[in-house]
């Protein structure tokens, strides 16, 4: 891998890690919201959001692993 390729790889890796951190932060907020709601419909909404974020998180982790292969 030459310098240019290494620089491109590092930039893409950093971008994906920032995305992963952003998803982690959103997931934390969704769990906090779930802990603070009492309405059953809002609980359902929080559960759906948490599940969607977990799926995005898993995809992001796999994406990072595939990048380094």
Helices (H), the chain: 3-36, 40-67
pLDDT of residue 25: 98
Task: Report CA torsion sign: 19, 20, 25, 26.
Answer: positive
Predicted TM-score of the model (pTM): 0.88
Q: Reply yes or no on whether the pLDDT at 69 is more than 80.
A: no
**What domain range is 16 assigned to?**
3-67
6-50 pLDDT, tens digit each? 999 999 999 999 999 999 999 999 999 999 999 999 999 999 999
- Specify the number of domains making up the chain: 1
């Amino acid at each position: 891998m030459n310098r240019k390729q290494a620089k491109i790889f590092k930039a893409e890796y950093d971008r994906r890690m920032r995305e992963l951190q952003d998803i982690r932060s959103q997931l934390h907020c969704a769990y906090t919201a779930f802990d603070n709601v009492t309405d059953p419909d809002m609980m359902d909404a929080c559960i759906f959001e948490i599940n969607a974020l977990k799926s995005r998180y898993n995809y992001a982790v796999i994406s990072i692993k595939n990048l380094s292969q």
